[in-house]
Structure 1
Amino acid sequence: MTSTSRRGHDRTEAIMRTMLELGRETGYARLSIEAVARRAGVGKHTVYRRWTSKGALLLDSLLSLHRHDLDYPDTGDVRADLRAQIHRVADLMTAPPFGPLFRALVAEAQHDPDVATALHAQFTRPQEERTVARLNTARDRGELSPDFDLDLAMAILSGPLYFRFLITREPLTHEYVDQVLDALFAGMGPR
């Protein structure tokens, strides 16, 4: 990496780190690109050159924190692997700064089509693909019914979790995750 590209990378990291710090301190609604730029020690044009909006910057900042935490283990036991991965996600989503800022990002996506598209492309779709791929591997091994619709399994699995996290705001606990998995596997097991 050249010194210019290293400096650009360091500046990008500083901006994203500052976004998360300020987001945690002030909340997303009161956050501005100008405040992020000021605290990060860059001009606002430097920020806007990399991100088109506050929502786009927040998405990249959140994903930079935990991109690798979203990968599935493969121990040969699909139920245990799903449980371990979804427990990690539940822990992530209930802890600051990720949880509150992720809620704000989802809200922003309702009003900003570019943020909605980026959220789907960079977070939702890759997570769906990882889950379906893990389920497909399990189905190929005979751990799941060969005729179970894996896209439907993904919807059944994620729907209750997002509903609880975003709508009812009830705690997203390991016990709740286990209840959802138990319900899902009651219909997915080999016949």
Structure 2
Amino acid sequence: MSPTPPRPRSGNRRDEAARDAVLHAADDLLAEKGFGALTIEAIAREAGVAKQTIYRWWPSKVEILLDTLVEDAERQLPVPTDKATAASIRTYLRKFARFVTHDAAGKVLLALLAEAQHDPETATRMHQRYLGPRRRQELELLKGAIDAGEIAPRLGPDAAMDALIGPIVYRALTGASIPRGFVDALVEDVLRPRTG
């Protein structure tokens, strides 16, 4: 009887089912326990994977949460890339407001923003992996609408984006509601849309 051949090594390739389980567990536990109580041990237990497996794939809980945020935001909150209009900007901001108030991934964003205020490494990684790339996409959207004559903000694109996103994030962080009319007024006041 010949010995069983050794299993081929997969190296650091992630098992997608286990990876998804870890990301979902991190989301669920963050919503249930909050950032401070979220641990790698708890994530491993909830996901049904070994703690060592998680550490092989991610160096920290922040990186796990960033993976969930980046993937969920790309899927649930894409920045429009077709026609840049006042209406498409308004629709995007309405979806963003819903994302940060009702979506698990939005709660991840708020938790990481809060943590970034105390941890420079979290702030750096947030900018590298999420805030920077998304801001570039958002600015392209604004610049496209400016070039098309759709909007005429009195502020430059970067400051205009801050004036649009900032109040939404502030209200979400403080638990205040974000009615549709609030978002519409921001768009009207900040961008002075000519049409849409």
Q: TM-score category by the smaller chain?
A: 0.7 to 0.9
| Higher Cα Rg, which structure | 2
Give % identity.
34
Instruction: Confirm whether residue 107 of structure 1 aligns to residue 107 of structure 2.
Output: no
Instruction: Confirm whether residue 35 of structure 1 aligns to residue 38 of structure 2.
Output: no
User: Which residues of 2 match residues 56-95 of structure 1 at below 5 A?
Assistant: 56-73=63-80, 76=83, 78-95=85-102
Report the Cα offset of residue 129 of structure 1: 1.1
**Normalising by structure 1, what TM-score?**
0.83
**Normalising by structure 2, what TM-score?**
0.81
Report the Cα offset of residue 34 of structure 1: 0.5
Deviation per CA, 1:105-152, whole angstroms, max 9, x where unpaired?
Answer: 212222222221121122212221111101211222222349862122
CA separation of 1:184 and 1:80: change in aligned 2, threshold 3 A:
same
Show the counterpart of 2:57. 50
Provide the rounded CA distance (Å) in 2 between the counterparts of 1:101 and 1:72.
18
Show the counterpart of 2:5. none
CA separation of 1:43 and 1:121: change in aligned 2, threshold 3 A:
same
1:28 is paired with a residue whose SS is: coil
> Do 2:77 and 2:99's aligned partners in 1 also have CA atoms closer than 8 Å?
no
Instruction: Confirm whether residue 180 of structure 1 aligns to residue 180 of structure 2.
Output: no
Report the Cα offset of residue 98 of structure 1: 2.9
In structure 1, stretches of 5+ residues that fail to align are none
1:172 is paired with a residue whose SS is: coil
Aligned letter for 1:178? D
The structure 1 segments of at least 4 consecutive aligned residues displaced by more than 6 Å after TM superposition are: none
> Do 2:153 and 2:190's aligned partners in 1 also have CA atoms closer than 8 Å?
no
Deviation per CA, 1:155-185, whole angstroms, max 9, x where unpaired?
Answer: 222222222222x432122221111111112
Provide the rounded CA distance (Å) in 2 between the counterparts of 1:157 and 1:23.
27
Provide the rounded CA distance (Å) in 2 between the counterparts of 1:163 and 1:101.
15
Q: Report the structure, 1 or 2, having the larger helix content.
A: 1
Instruction: Confirm whether residue 155 of structure 1 aligns to residue 168 of structure 2.
Output: no
CA separation of 1:120 and 1:9: change in aligned 2, threshold 3 A:
same
Q: What is the Cα-based RMSD across aligned positions, in Å? A: 2.7
Deviation per CA, 1:28-58, whole angstroms, max 9, x where unpaired?
Answer: 2222100111222222121122222222211
Report the Cα offset of residue 8 of structure 1: 2.2
Provide the rounded CA distance (Å) in 2 between the counterparts of 1:6 and 1:73.
32
Show the counterpart of 2:4. none
CA separation of 1:43 and 1:182: change in aligned 2, threshold 3 A:
same
2:64 is paired with a residue whose SS is: helix
Provide the rounded CA distance (Å) in 1 between the counterparts of 2:21 and 2:30.
14
CA separation of 1:120 and 1:21: change in aligned 2, threshold 3 A:
same
